[in-house]
Structure 1
Amino acid sequence: MNQNWHGTLIRHVLLLITACLVIGLISGYYGWSLAAGLGIYLAWTLKQLLRMHEWLRQHKPDEPPPDGYGLWGEVFDSIYHLQRRDQRVRGRLQAVIDRVQESTAALRDAVIMLDSDGNLEWWNRAAETLLGLKTPQDSGQPVTNLVRHPRFKEYFELENYIEPLEIPSPINDRIRVQLLLTRYGNNEHLMLVRDVTRIHQLEQMRKDFIANVSHELRTPLTVICGYLETLLDNVEGVNPRWVRALQQMQQQGGRMQTLLNDLLLLAKLEATDYPSDNQPVAVSSLLQSIKNDAQELSGQRNQEITLEVEGSASLKGSEPELRSAFSNLVFNAVKYTQADGKIQVRWWSDERGAHLSVTDSGPGIESKHIPRLTERFYRVDSSRASNTGGTGLGLAIVKHVLLRHRGTLDINSVVGKGSTFTCHFAPSQVINP
C-alpha cells in the first residue's frame, strides 16, 4: 500500500508539473504557471487535510470518513477499511464479554471485580443477593465500605488470600458467606462469594454435639475417677489381684479427662472470634513459666531446654489461651524428643510482628503429614501418641488460639533432624515498650 501511495503521489506531481509547463509554454510564463499550479494543489491538499481533521474531531464510532479523490481518496478508503475491521473486532470482543456476563449472571455464587484500590468495577446478580450491592450507585465504591465486617477489613488489608474468609452476610446475619480474593491483571482483585449457610449449620451442629457430649461425660467420669482414687488410697483393703486393674483404670480415666478438657476448650475457642479478656500479656515471663514446667515434664531424660527472648514485646490477648497454645508446642517437643535431645524456644519481634519458634532435635515429621497436623485427632503415629498420652487435639488448639489472636502457624520438619513450629503474630497484636 505504501508503494502504491508513493507511486500515485509521484504521478500526480509529474502530471501537475507537466500541465503547468504546457500552460507556461502557451502563455510564456513558465514560473508563474508552475507557482500557480503548485499553489492550487497545496490549497486542495490543505482542504482535504482540514476535512480529515474535522471528521476526526467530530466523528462517531459508526460514521464513515468523508469521500475524497486521488491520493486522499485512497487515504479515506484505507481509514474506512480499518474502521470496519475494528468494528468487527469490537463486535467479537463484545460478544465474548456478553457471553461471560450471561454465564456469570447465572451463577449462584457472587463474582465481583475490584480495581487495584479495592473499588467495585463489576458484579453479577448473586452479589446483590448475598452482599446487598446495588446497581449502579455502588459502582466505584470501596468494597470495605459496603462489607463492613471487621474481619473482612483485616483480611483485605493483610493481602494474604491463601485461605477463604467466612463471615455473616451484610444483609442477613443468618446467612453465612465465604469470601475468596484472587489477584489478577494489574494488581486487580476478583472476589468470589459463596453461600455456606448449610455447611455452617452442619458444622455448628457437630460442634454443639461434641461440646454437649463432653460436658455430659465430664460428671460421671469425675465420679468414676474419684472412686478409683479412693480405692487406691485404701489399697490395703483391696484384693491384690485388683490393684493393677485399678491403676490402669485410673490411668485411662485420667486420659479421658484430658481429652474431655481439650474438647471443651476447643468448643470454647470456636464459640467466638476474639478473646473476651483481651489484655496485654507479658510473653517473656509466660515462656519462663512454661520452660520450668517443661523441665519438670522432661524429668530424668536429660534434655537440654533453652529459652531465648529478644526484646520485651508483649501481646494483646488472653493469657490462659496463649499459655495453652505455647505450652502445647513446648510440651510436644519434650514428649517427642529423645533423651539427651535439644529443645530451643525463641521469642522475638520485628517490623512484621512478633514470633515464637519451638525447635527440637526429635525424629521429625514426613512432609505428607504436615498439612494435616492441625486437624482434630490427626496423629502421625497413633502408637507413639498413645505412649506419650497425646489426644491428637493439641495442635488443633494451637491453631484456634492463633486464629483468635490474628496469628499463623508455620511447620518445618526434616525426618531424622527435628522440627520447628513457628507462631507469627500481626503487628497490630504486638505491644512494644
Structure 2
Amino acid sequence: MRTHWAGRAFKTLFWVLLASALVGLLINQIAWALVAGLVLYQAWHLRQMIHFQQWLDAGRNELPPEARGLWGDIFDRIHHIQRRDSRMRGKQQLVIDRIQASTAALSDAVVMVDTKGRLEWWNRAAERLLGLRAPDDSGQHVTNLLRDPRFVEYFEANHFGEPLDIASHLNLSTRLQYTITQYGEGEHLMVVRDTSRLHNLEQMRKDFVANVSHELRTPLTVIVGYLETLQDSDEPINPRWKRALQQMEQQSRRMQNLLNDLLLLARLENEDRTIEQRPVDISEMLKSITQDARALSAERGHQIILETGSGIKLSGADAELRSAFSNLAFNAVKYTPDQGEIRLCCWLDEQGAHVSVGDNGAGIAAQHINRLTERFYRVDSSRSTHTGGTGLGLAIVKHVLLRHDGRLDISSTVGKGSTFTCHFPVSRLA
C-alpha cells in the first residue's frame, strides 16, 4: 500500500510538472511556469491538509470530505479504519458492560486496586460489606479505608497464598474473608465474602465437641475407677466376667484418650492466635521424647535414633510443641513394624528450624497424604483401632504448627517408609 501511494504521488507530481512545462513553452517562461505549478501543487496539498484537520476535529461520526486522487484514498482509508475501530470498541464495551453487570449482581464484594494500592473500581456489594462510597473513595489508598491492623499487615506483606478471615470493621458480628489476586503489572483484584454463617456453624461445632467431651470426661473417669476397683478386688472374679471387665477397661481408656485429644484440639482452636513467647529448648525436648518413644517400643525392638545439635531453641509454648513432636514420634512407634528404624532429627539453616520424624515402615499411599491432618481420618481404620489411635494426632500437630507460624510436610513411599517434617521460620528462633 505504501508503494502504491508513493507511485501515485510521484505520478501526480510528474503530470503537474509536465503541464507546467508545456504552459511555459507556450508563454516562453518555462522556469516561472514550473515554479507556479509547484506552488499550486503545494497549495492544493495545504488545502487538503486543512480539510483533513477540520475533519479530525469534527469527530469520528462525520463523513470524510470529498477529495480525489491521493487525498481521496487517504480519507477513505482512515474512515475505514475509524469504522473498524468503532465496531471493535463497541464490542469491547459490550463485554465490559456485561462483566460489570455480572459483578454488580454478585453477593461477594469485588474491588480493583491499582499498582499503588489505590481503589479503582468496586461493585455494589463492596459498598454494603466494606462501606465504600462512590465516587468519594475512588483513588483512596485501600488501607486508609480498611484500617484493621490484620488487614493492613496482610496487604502490605504481599503474600496472598491464604485468604484472610477477620471480623468486619462495620459490624463485629460479621466475619469477612479477604482473597487477593495479583494481575497485570502489580495490580490487585480483591474479593470479599461474608462467611458469618460458616463461621458460626464452625464455632457451634467446636463448642459442641468441647462441651460433650468435657461432660463425658467425668462419667468415664468414674467408670474406669470402678473397673479398676473390681479387677483389683481381693474377692475372686468369676472367669466369665474377667475378660469382659478387661475389655471394658481397655475401651474406656481408649475413650478417655479420645476425649483428651478432643479437648486439646478444642483448646488449640479456640485460644487466641497469640501464644506465650518463651524459649523452648527443642534439643532437650527431643531427647526426652526419644526416651519416651523407646519405653513405648519396649520389646518391639525398634532402633530409635536421635540426630540433633545443641542449643536449638524456639519461641513458643513448651506443652504444645511437646504434644506435636510426641504425636509424630509415638505414631512412628505404633505404625513401624518390629525391629524397624525410627529417626528423629533437628537442624537449623537459613530458612529457620526443622524437626523431622522418619521411619522405614509400610509407607502411605499418595492419595491419603493430603487428608492425613483431617480429624479422624485414618489410612487403615482397623490398624488404628488395633494400635489405639484416635485419628486426631496429626490434626493436633497441624494446629500447633499453625499457632507457631510453622507448617508440616509429609513425604512417604509405599514399602519404604514416611517422613514428617515440621518447618519453623527464622522469626521463631529464640
Same fold at TM > 0.5? yes
What residue in structure 1 maps to residue 237 of structure 2? Answer: 239
5+ residue gaps, structure 1: none
What residue in structure 1 maps to residue 336 of structure 2? Answer: 337
1:223-267 C-alpha deviation (Å, 9 max, x unpaired): 222233333343x32425244433332222221111111111111
Aligned-partner residue type, residue 237 of structure 2? N
Q: How does 1:10-409 map to 2 (within 5 A)?
A: 10-42=10-42, 44-45=44-45, 48=48, 70-116=69-115, 118-153=117-152, 155-156=154-155, 161-186=160-185, 188-234=187-233, 236-241=234-239, 242-309=241-308, 312-409=311-408
1:381-415 C-alpha deviation (Å, 9 max, x unpaired): 11111121110111111111122222222222111
What residue in structure 1 maps to residue 9 of structure 2? Answer: 9
Aligned-partner residue type, residue 379 of structure 2? V
CA distance in 2, matches of 1:41, 1:337: 99
User: Are the aligned partners of 1:311 and 1:349 in contact in 2 as well (CA < 8 Å)?
Assistant: no
CA distance in 2, matches of 1:150, 1:301: 53
Q: CA RMSD in A?
A: 2.9
User: Are the aligned partners of 1:273 and 1:404 in contact in 2 as well (CA < 8 Å)?
Assistant: no
CA distance in 2, matches of 1:267, 1:59: 73
User: Are the aligned partners of 2:275 and 2:403 in contact in 1 as well (CA < 8 Å)?
Assistant: no
User: Are the aligned partners of 1:274 and 1:405 in contact in 2 as well (CA < 8 Å)?
Assistant: no
- Once the two structures are overlaid, the 10-residue window that deviates more, 138-147 or 393-402, is 138-147
- Once the two structures are overlaid, the 10-residue window that deviates more, 216-225 or 156-165, is 156-165
SS of 1:376 mapped into structure 2: coil
User: Are the aligned partners of 2:304 and 2:342 in contact in 1 as well (CA < 8 Å)?
Assistant: yes
Aligned-partner residue type, residue 407 of structure 1? G
SS of 1:375 mapped into structure 2: coil
Residues 428, 109 of structure 1: CA spacing in aligned structure 2 closer, same or farther, 3 A cutoff?
same
CA distance in 1, matches of 2:87, 2:99: 18
CA distance in 2, matches of 1:63, 1:269: 72
1:332 positional shift: 0.9
CA distance in 2, matches of 1:152, 1:426: 21
1:279-314 C-alpha deviation (Å, 9 max, x unpaired): 333322222222222222222222222333358553
Residues 166, 307 of structure 1: CA spacing in aligned structure 2 closer, same or farther, 3 A cutoff?
same
CA distance in 2, matches of 1:424, 1:381: 27
CA distance in 1, matches of 2:269, 2:124: 33
Sequence identity of aligned pairs in percent? 59
User: Are the aligned partners of 1:275 and 1:317 in contact in 2 as well (CA < 8 Å)?
Assistant: no
Aligned-partner residue type, residue 107 of structure 2? R
User: Are the aligned partners of 1:132 and 1:170 in contact in 2 as well (CA < 8 Å)?
Assistant: no
CA distance in 2, matches of 1:430, 1:153: 25
CA distance in 2, matches of 1:180, 1:240: 65
Aligned-partner residue type, residue 8 of structure 2? T
1:417 positional shift: 1.0
SS of 2:179 mapped into structure 1: strand
Residues 182, 139 of structure 1: CA spacing in aligned structure 2 closer, same or farther, 3 A cutoff?
same
- Once the two structures are overlaid, the 10-residue window that deviates more, 289-298 or 41-50, is 41-50
Residues 428, 120 of structure 1: CA spacing in aligned structure 2 closer, same or farther, 3 A cutoff?
farther
TM-score (normalised: structure 2): 0.89
Residues 41, 345 of structure 1: CA spacing in aligned structure 2 closer, same or farther, 3 A cutoff?
farther
Residues 84, 128 of structure 1: CA spacing in aligned structure 2 closer, same or farther, 3 A cutoff?
same
- Once the two structures are overlaid, the 10-residue window that deviates more, 15-24 or 130-139, is 130-139
SS of 2:17 mapped into structure 1: helix
CA distance in 2, matches of 1:147, 1:406: 25
**Number of aligned positions between the proteins:** 429
1:328-369 C-alpha deviation (Å, 9 max, x unpaired): 112111211112222222233444343322221111111111
CA distance in 2, matches of 1:144, 1:313: 39
User: Are the aligned partners of 1:342 and 1:360 in contact in 2 as well (CA < 8 Å)?
Assistant: yes
SS of 1:174 mapped into structure 2: coil
SS of 2:418 mapped into structure 1: strand
User: Are the aligned partners of 1:113 and 1:122 in contact in 2 as well (CA < 8 Å)?
Assistant: yes
- Once the two structures are overlaid, the 10-residue window that deviates more, 274-283 or 355-364, is 274-283
TM-score (normalised: structure 1): 0.88
CA distance in 2, matches of 1:147, 1:313: 40
Residues 146, 320 of structure 1: CA spacing in aligned structure 2 closer, same or farther, 3 A cutoff?
farther
CA distance in 2, matches of 1:311, 1:80: 81
CA distance in 2, matches of 1:330, 1:8: 89
User: Are the aligned partners of 1:231 and 1:238 in contact in 2 as well (CA < 8 Å)?
Assistant: no
SS of 2:174 mapped into structure 1: strand
Residues 225, 276 of structure 1: CA spacing in aligned structure 2 closer, same or farther, 3 A cutoff?
same
- Once the two structures are overlaid, the 10-residue window that deviates more, 211-220 or 347-356, is 347-356
Residues 398, 150 of structure 1: CA spacing in aligned structure 2 closer, same or farther, 3 A cutoff?
farther
SS of 1:170 mapped into structure 2: coil
- Once the two structures are overlaid, the 10-residue window that deviates more, 92-101 or 107-116, is 107-116
1:51 positional shift: 6.9
